Structure 1
Amino acid sequence: MASPVPIKTLSQTWTFFEGEWRDGNAPVLGPRTHGAWLGSMVFDGARAFEGVTPDLDLHLARVNNSAREMLLEPSLTVEEWRALVDDGLRKFPRNAELYIRPMYWAEQGLGGGVRFEPDSTNWCLTIYEAPMPAPKGGAITLSPYRRPSAETAPVGAKASCHYANGARALIEASKRGFDNCLMRDMLGNIAEFANSNAFLAKNGVVFTPAANGTFLNGITRQRVIGLLRADGVEVIETSLTYDDFLEADEIFSTGNFQKVAPMSRIDARTLEAGPMYRRARALYWDFAHSRAPLRAVS
């Protein structure tokens, strides 16, 4: 019999589940929970860093929308989620760099099977320490794997079932010496990175794949587009090929975890963290820190 895999010690974590905050990483999903073994989980991820929580309400609204897209039955309002988040943030130092993760899933499947029972929807809120990664850049390539279409997956939901495909894309790229990869849609156009939205800059114009329903139109993506346009930058949402990225002056990503990050190499070609990336990151940081924090200094 194989020895059990040691459980890795994780960062400081608090989880609100079934009426109380639970310290540590105690499991809330049992081995027969539908979400744990048949993939009915939806979630969202917001950031708390340097005392701010940018776009928190949009993330909380999206987890409810994701639940509906997945045919689950969300039970908390945005206001109820926000009150729980505010309470949970007080358990950490004010300037802790945190990830805020609300989740819904089905507890039961019909007859124990794939078709879940929507009225068995359960939920929890997990908040944990997650330092903001330094924007040091990364090497990217093209993945052989593609994003699904609406006919093949619940692409309108931020659902855990999507992330297995992103994970295998990242693992495949890593084996070839890359940190991330661009994924195409079923038509062959670039959709996004394996774990974030994609941007390129060429001749002073910023381009990003049009939100065509094959990937999530990220909250940070939308925010950065709006900030750049308000600052006078032309941002074009359109169909892009891998050749467009190969010929780009700059490439950067947006996402919940790292917010705005540069890419430093595509295949064998070195890239600079250029002026459009720096402008996007500075605009986002200014926006985030203009938001009033949700809690007083503890």
Structure 2
Amino acid sequence: MAGVYFYDNQWFEECPKLIGPTDHSFWLGSSVFDGARTFQGLAPDLGLHVARLFKSARSMGLAPKETETEVERLCVEGIRKLPKTTELYIRPMFFARGGFVVPEPESTEFCLSVYDAPLPEFDGIKIRFSAWRRPAQDMALTNAKAGALYPNSSRALREALELGFDNAVVKDANGNIAELATANLWMVKDNVASTPALTGTFLAGVTRYRVACLLRENGIAVEETTLTESDLCNADEI
């Protein structure tokens, strides 16, 4: 996997070793990240991804030393270090080194990974409804793209894969549809594209926003609404 990595004011061609067993982020999960992609050298909505990273950091109680402008510039610099034809994943992160239960804001550090990660060929998927739920905002840090949230999604996905499916539909604490284990979810019924309304249980996806804009620009009706298991089962397309 070709890639470049930025940490401590320098670029690396191999993954740098960053943390130790007593670092707060390794021990108690105080890390946030965001993920953008490039296609033919273009990075759609990169600025939105960077802005969300900083919102996530503030929600986690971290205090980035870098600015949004600096992080976006570094992302572009990393992209330019790799072939334009490569489909890249751009993953900036903030993490805390110090703290006991509460992370020490002043210990916040930054790293950036830019590496080859093409999306798999799409040929339809098999999905199942998971028994695992997304937590509500008063249960977990759902307003941040925090690494500590992903074990919940991974167990839903792992269970689906073990049962012969490709992904899992995860519900919110009220039993309504939230998202797939690895992505926001859309369904189509009677020429209307619907996606679960934002309730605080999952992030407002940047790609979700982009899809909504593209659909509207092409004259397709879009609604953000409460979706149920029955709605998905009766959809024309998911």
Q: Which interval holds the TM-score relative to the shorter structure?
A: over 0.9
**Which residue type is aligned with residue 17 of structure 1?**
Y
Of the three residues 7, 19, 39, the one matched with 2:9 is 19
- The residue identity in structure 2 corresponding to 1:65 is K
Displacement of 1:132 after TM fit? 2.3
Does the 8 A contact of 2:61 with 2:103 survive in 1?
no
Counterpart amino acid of residue 244 in structure 1: D
Question: Equivalences for 1:208-223 in 2 at 5 Å?
Answer: 208-223=195-210
Stretches of 4+ aligned residues off by more than 6 angstroms: none
Secondary structure of the residue that 1:166 maps to in structure 2? helix
| Count of aligned pairs between the two proteins | 238
Q: Displacement of 1:89 after TM fit?
A: 1.7
After TM superposition, the structure 1 stretch with the greater mean CA deviation from structure 2, 132-141 or 186-195, is 132-141
> Please, what is the CA RMSD of the aligned residues?
1.1
Q: Which residue of 1 aligns with 2:79?
A: 89
CA displacement, residues 174-220 of structure 1 (integer Å, 9 cap, x when unaligned): 12111101111011100000111001001111111001110001001
Partner amino acid, structure 1, of 2:92: P
The alignment partner of 2:101 has SS state of: coil
Letter in 2 for 1:90: R
Q: Give, in whole Å, the separation in 2 of the partners of 1:24 and 1:236.
A: 44
| 1:162 paired to 2:152 | no
Q: How does 1:37-48 map to 2 (within 5 A)?
A: 37-48=27-38
- Counterpart amino acid of residue 161 in structure 1: A
Counterpart-to-counterpart distance in 1, 2:74 and 2:208: 26
Which of 125, 145, 154 is matched with 1:138 structurally? 125
State how far apart, in whole Å, the 1-side matches of 2:106 and 2:116 are: 32
Aligned residue in 2 for 1:33: 23
2:134 is matched with: 147
Distance 1:248 1:86 in 2: 40
Determine helix, strand or coil for the equivalent of 1:197.
coil
Match of 2:216 in 1: 229
Q: Percent identity?
A: 48
Q: Deviations over 1:61-112 (max 9, x none)?
A: 1101110011111222221112212221222111111100000011011xxx
State the one-letter code of the partner of 2:127: I
Equivalent residue, structure 2, for 1:238: 225
Choose from 142, 155, 162 the match for 1:175.
162
**Counterpart Cα distance in 1 of 2:77 and 2:226:** 43
- For 2:130, give the aligned amino acid: S
Unpaired runs of 5+ residues, structure 2, are none
Unaligned runs of 5+ in 1: 1-10, 252-298
CA distance in 2, matches of 1:23, 1:29: 18
* 1:236 CA displacement: 1.2
Distance 1:95 1:28 in 2: 29
Superposed counterparts of 1:1-298, under 5 Å: 11-109=1-99, 113-251=100-238
How far apart are 1:226 and its partner, in Å? 1.6
Write the distance in 2 (CA, Å) between the matches of 1:239 and 1:214.
13
Normalising by structure 1, we get a TM-score of 0.78
The answer to whether the 8 Å contact 2:91/2:112 transfers is: yes
Is the 2:3–2:82 Cα contact (8 Å) retained in structure 1?
Answer: no
Instruction: State the distance in 2 between where 1:138 and 1:24 align.
Output: 34
